A = this chain, B = another copy of it.
Amino acid sequence: MRISELATRTGVPVPTLKFYLRERVLHPGRATSRTSAEYDEGHVERVRLLRVLAEHGGISVADLRVIVAALEAPPPSRHELLGAAHDVLPGARTGTPAGEEVTGLFADLGWPVPADAAFAAGLGEAVDAARAAGVPITPTTLRRYAAAMRHVAEVDVGLALAAASPADALRTVVVGTVLVDPVLAALRRVAQQVVSTERA
């Protein structure tokens, strides 16, 4: 199909598609002449992915570029895949070591987390920010949060392992991590109301 059909199929205007091509988040079509190219279902898929990550996940074009690059080079093992996906996601602090409290938390929980894991430092920052704003987060609080998120992670990993191919698994991890966060946030708010009602 040509670019105008890609536009009608995805509902994205032609100038925006050209913008995505320029920004290298959409791979070029197969050129059929100097002034036309052929796009396929892969392009339709990609455009839909870009839109949903940008609109519902709030991912910037710069981060989209990193993400699609990772999607196009799937690592061999399913386990490495998770690390690769995480390095790419916004919020990761690759190379920055985590603070003492965070490493202590992981030791307490018996979690074998390397101190330089992509999100360990980000976790420390997030906790400090919440405390700076007056939220009384104690080590106990943090342990309880961690235990709950472990249950979430069990579900997440199950979804990824159920994928048909490594490429599918990578896609599920990256997209799932970004797009399930808002689902969890909404569930958290609803659950707060429920717990609060029950205690009243």
Residues of A within 8 A of B (CB): 48-49, 52-53, 55-56, 58, 78-79, 82-83, 86, 89, 91, 106, 111-113, 117-120, 122-123, 125-127, 129-130, 132-137, 141-142, 144-157, 159-162, 171-173, 175-177, 179-197, 199-200
Contact = CB atoms under 8 A, between A and B. Distances in A.
B189 A150 contact: no
Contact of A150 (B153, B171, B194): B194
Contact of A186 (B112, B119, B144, B157): B119
Count this chain's copies in the assembly.
2
Given A153-B195, A172-B135, A189 B119 contact: yes
A187 B126 CA distance: 10
Residue in A113, A119, A135, A137 with the greatest tally of chain B CB atoms within 10 Å? A135
Nearest to A121: B186
Contacts of A58: 58
A155 B145 contact: yes
Residue in A129, A142, A173, A197 with the greatest tally of chain B CB atoms within 10 Å? A129
